[in-house]
Amino acid sequence: MRFMSSAFLCTSLLLGGGTAGAADNVPAYIGKYVSTPQDTRAINKVIEDFQTAIKTRDRKLLSTLVLNSNILFDSPMSPDDIAYVRDKHDVTFDGLRAGGYGDFARLVGTSKVAIEEKFYNVKITQDGNVAWVMFDYEFVREGKTQNYGIETWQMMKVGDEQWKIASVMWTMNRL
């Protein structure tokens, strides 16, 4: 129940409802994040290495960028597709496919054709040891865009001061 109340409050604040969202009531520290130029460079390096790993089909490089091989890594299915799977096959299906990062890493490492993911409008938001990366992307295979959408990463700085990708989710619009 606490989650529901928090979710309602957050939604109200985002949509401008209630007095809590009024500009004169927002504490001065809201919207101020702990970020350093070194961390921004390190996060950008992860972004660059991710694209390089795909383009060069370097599965090992890709593995150095993620927290572990069990991270959330998926493009959730639409509500209609989830309903179909629940109706026909599995009443507990949540819209996330099994395989995630492992399947993607296999695709990168075994592709016989040129593949690439291009990023546009990259936005990094960092606060201390946590960061969010959001961008528009297109996935290109043999020089032709296969799909595009929005991709988001959650990242964290691990004990050795390196930034790692903790989760990846994206929309997928096919061409």
Phi, psi of 95 (to 5 degrees): 95, -5
Q: Which of 133, 75, 77, 71 is CA-nearest to residue 102?
A: 71
Q: What is the pLDDT of residue 12?
A: 46
**8 Å CB contact between 49 and 61:** yes
Residue ranges with strand state E in the chain: 72-74, 115-127, 130-141, 144-157, 163-170, 173-174
Q: What is the pLDDT of residue 7?
A: 42
Q: What is the pLDDT of residue 22?
A: 60
Q: Which of 47, 44, 46 is CA-nearest to residue 137?
A: 47
Q: What is the pLDDT of residue 20?
A: 54
Task: Mark the ranges of the chain whose per-residue pLDDT is less than 70.
Answer: 1-23
Q: What is the pLDDT of residue 159?
A: 82
pLDDT 10s digits, 130-162? 999 999 999 999 999 999 999 999 999 998 789
pLDDT 10s digits, 30-45? 999 999 999 999 999 9
- Compute the C-alpha angle 44/48/54, nearest 5°: 145
Query: What is 33-174's CATH topology?
Result: Nuclear Transport Factor 2; Chain: A, (3.10.450)
Q: What is the pLDDT of residue 172?
A: 94
105 vs 82: CA distance, rounded Å: 25
SS3 call for 30: coil
**8 Å CB contact between 134 and 140:** no
